[in-house]
Structure 1
Amino acid sequence: MKIIQWATGAMGKTCLRAVIDRPDLELVGLFVYGERKAGLDAGEIARRPATGVVATQSIEDILALDADVVIHAARLDPPFERHDADILRLLRSGKNVISINGGSFPPFWPQERQARFEAACAEGQSSFMGAGLNPGFGAEKLAVLATGVCSDVNSVSLRELVDCRPVKSAAYVFDIIGFGSEPGRVDPNHPDWVPGQTMNALFREVVGCTAHRLGWTLDAVETAHTLRAAPSDIEIAAGIVRAGTTARIDWNWLGIEAGETRVDLGIAWTMETPPEGAPRPPLWTIRVDGTPSVKLDFDLETPVGWTARTSAEQLGVAGAVVNAIPAVIAAPPGLQSAPLATHFQAFTRA
C-alpha cells in the first residue's frame, strides 16, 4: 500500500515513523509546511534510515504521485475548515484521505461541507475517513464496545485529562487553545469564542457517532464548558499563565434525547501542576449506566525500555491511523465513518 504523509509536526512525525517502520506500507510522498524541512529525506525528518522520499512544500508534487492513502496530520488551527481545500484536492486526485482531525461521523457535518466532500470523492473515486484517539477511538469505538455486556443502557460517559504544560508554542497555547484568557470576560459556551468553535466542530460529531451507534436519536448536543483561573502565576513551556487567567479548560458536550443526557463527553485541558504524590490518572475513564453498569479505566504506556520523547498517546494515534488504512482503501467512494473495529493485523516481516 502506497502512503503519503501530510505534515510532520509532533503527530505527523509519529505517523511518518509508523509508516516507515511497517514493511507492508510504502512511503511514496511527504508534504511539509516549513522551508527548513523541504528537500530533506523523510528518514532524516523521522530519525530513520534514508527512504529516498524527499519532503516537498508543493501540493502539485503530491497530487502528481500515485498513492493509495494520504495521512492528513496538519495542525488544527482555526477556522476548523481551513484545510478543507487541500483535502478536497487530494480526494479529487484519486487519493483516499485519513484525517487525525475529525471525521468520526460526517453525517453530523453541515450539509454544505458534506456535499463538497462527497463531490470530490465522486470525482476522484476516493474516500475520506477520520482516525485517531480522541476523536477517533475513545467514545465512538471503545465506549460503544463497552456496552456489549449490557442488556440495557441509559447513558455513556468519557472523561480525559490532558496535561498541556509541555506544549512549547506560545501562539498555540495562548491564541488558539485559549489559555491565558480571562474567565470573567470570556464565555466558553458562546458560539463566537474561537477555541470553542474548533473544539465543538471536532467533538459534536463524536457525540453524534456514539449516540448513533447505540441507537439513540439526539435532539441536541449541548455544551457545558467551564474555565478555571490560576491562583498564582504558572510557568510552562510556552511562557507564563498569569494569576487570574485561564489555567484549565473543561470541555463538556452533552448528547440529549427526550430531555435525557445519553452521551456525556468531557475533556479537561490543564496547565495546573498536580498535587505532589497524586497518582497519574488514566487516559480515559469510561462509564456506562446500564444493566449491568460498566467502569473502564483505559491507559496507554510506552514500550518497555522506550527512550524516545514520543509519548504513548502519540504512538496510539499513529497506530490507530495505520490500522485504519485497509478500511479506507476497501471502502466505497465517499465520506466514511471508521468501522467500529480497526484492530491491528499482523504483517509479514521482511
Structure 2
Amino acid sequence: MRRVVQFSTGNVGQHSLRAIIGRPDLELVGVHAASPTKVGRDAAELCGLDEPTGIVATDDIDALIALGPDCVVYTAQAETRPMEAIEQLVKFLSAGINVVASSMVWLVTPRLADDWLREPLGQACESGDASLYVNGIDPGYSGDTEVHSALSLVTRATSITVQEIFDYANYDDYEFTGKSMGFGLSPEDEDPIFYVPGVLTSMWGGPVRNLAVQLGVELDDVTQRIERWYTPTRIECKMATVEPGQMAAVRFAVEGVRDGVAVITMEHVTRLTAGAAPEWEYPPDGKTGVHRVVVEGEPRVELNTHVSHPALDVTEAGCVSTAARVVNVIDWVCRAPKGLIAVEDIPQAEVIRGLMW
C-alpha cells in the first residue's frame, strides 16, 4: 500500500483526494491546504465524504515531509506562480518523495521543457532518488494517449488535429481560467495572459513538438492563432457574467507548420453557454464538451472522448478524469527510476491496474 499526501483541494484536488481515500491500494496520510478556511478540517469534509478520515489539512510542508509519504499528488494551481511551485516540488523530491501532478503543464513533455523548469526539478529528483510525473487531459491525454490511439489506426497520416471543444459556462474557475482566457474583456482591453505572444506556444508547443519527434517529422515553425467572439447580449453563468460587447468565446490553437501547412494542431474552442459563437464547431450528439482527435490520412480517423457523471457537470467530470490521469500511476511512479517521467515512459497497462475492487 502506498502512503500518499494530497496537495491542494481545489477543482482537481478534491477529486484526487476522494479517489485516494476510496482506493484500497492507497493510504492517505496527509493533506495540504493553502486556505486558512480549510486548514484543520478533515480530509473527508474537504472532498464531500461523510465518514471522517482523521487526517486534517495543514499548510506546513515540512510536517507533510516528516510523514514520510511514498508520493505526493500535487494539483495546486501552479501556472500563475511557477517559481513558488518549483520550490515546493523541489522540497518533496529532494526529500525522496515521488510526485505526480496535474500542475506545471509545461512538464507534460519534460524532455522539451525549458531549462528553468527541467534543471532544478531534475536535480531534485537526482539528489532525492525520486520521480516526477505531470499529466492531465489537455495538455495530456488528448495530445498523447488519445492521439496515439488514432495514429495506430492509419497507414499514413497527412495531418493531426487535437481539439478541446467545451462549454465552460458551469466551470467555477474564473480567477484562473476565466481571466487567463479573457472572458468578459472588451476589444480595447489589454490581452489576458494566455494571449501574450509566446504563452500559448509555451503551454501547448511541447506536445506539438513531441508528436513531431515521435512521428519523425521536422517542423519549420510552431505558431499560435487566436480568434475571439464578443456577445451581443448579456450572458449570466457560473464562470462569469458577460455584458454585451465583451468576450464570451474564444478559439485558439498552436500549430506545427511544415512547408507552409499546419500538420499538427492543438486547438481549443471554448464558449460560455451554447449560444456563444454559434458558427464555430460544437461537440457531436449534443454534448457540452469533447476531446477530439482527427487524423487525416489512410483512412481518416476521428476519436471523440466525452466524460460524464450522474451528479456532476461535464467540466467537473473532466476534473475527475484529470485526477485519474495522475492518481492511477502512483504505484508505477513509486517503482520507476528516478527522474522526470513522460507518459510514453509508462507501460499503458500500468495506468489501469487496481481500478476494480
User: Within 5 A, what are the aligned runs for 1:238-257?
Assistant: 238-257=239-258
CA distance in 1: counterparts of 2:328 and 2:203, whole angstroms:
21
Offset at residue 132 of structure 1 (A): 1.7
- Verify the 8 A CA contact 1:166 1:237 in the aligned structure 2: yes
Match of 1:158? 162
**Could you tell me which of 279, 290, 306 is aligned with 1:283?**
290
> Residues 170-214 of structure 1: CA distance to partner in whole angstroms, max 9, x if unpaired?
544654432122235555799746xx73x5433222222322332
* Aligned equivalent of 2:237: 236
Counterpart of 2:156, as a letter, is D
Equivalent pair of 2:43/2:53 in contact (CA under 8 Å): yes
Q: Which runs of 5+ in 2 are unaligned?
A: 279-284
- In the alignment, the residues of structure 1 paired with residue 187 and residue 275 of structure 2 have an alpha-carbon distance, to the nearest angstrom, of 21
In structure 2, what is the equivalent of residue 335 of structure 1?
340
Q: Which residue in the other structure is 1:54 paired with?
A: 56
Q: How does 1:309-324 map to 2 (within 5 A)?
A: 311-324=316-329
CA change 1:9–1:154 in 2 (3 A) is same
Aligned-residue offset at 1:167: 3.5
- 1:70 counterpart residue number: 72
- Counterpart of 2:89 in structure 1 is 87
Structure 1 unmatched runs, 5+: none
> Once the 2 structures are TM-superposed, how far is the Cα of residue 56 of structure 1 from its aligned partner?
0.4
Residue 148 (structure 2) aligns with: 144
Aligned counterpart, 1:218: 219
Q: Decide which of 112, 116, 133 is 1:112's aligned counterpart.
A: 116
Counterpart contact for 1:131–1:324, Cα < 8 Å? no
Q: Does 1:16 align with 2:17?
A: yes
Corresponding residue for residue 30 of structure 1: 31
After TM superposition, the score normalised by the length of structure 1 is 0.88
| Residue aligned with 1:268, SS | strand
How far, CA to CA, are the matches of 1:119 and 1:143 in structure 2?
31
Q: Which residue of 2 aligns with 1:346?
A: 354
Distance (whole Å) between structure 2 residues aligned to residue 212 and residue 21 of structure 1: 39
What is the root-mean-square deviation of aligned Cα atoms in Å?
A: 2.7
Q: Residue 179 in 1 paired to residue 183 in 2?
A: yes
Report % sequence identity. Answer: 25
- The aligned amino acid for 2:55 is V
Residues 286, 297 of structure 1: 8 Å contact kept:
yes
CA-to-aligned-CA distance 1:259-309 (integer Å, 9 cap, x gap)? 442211111221144389x8225512211012222122221122xxx3356
Partner SS, residue 51 of structure 1? coil
Q: One-letter code of the match for 1:177?
A: M
Q: Is the 8 A contact 1:166 1:236 kept in 2?
A: yes
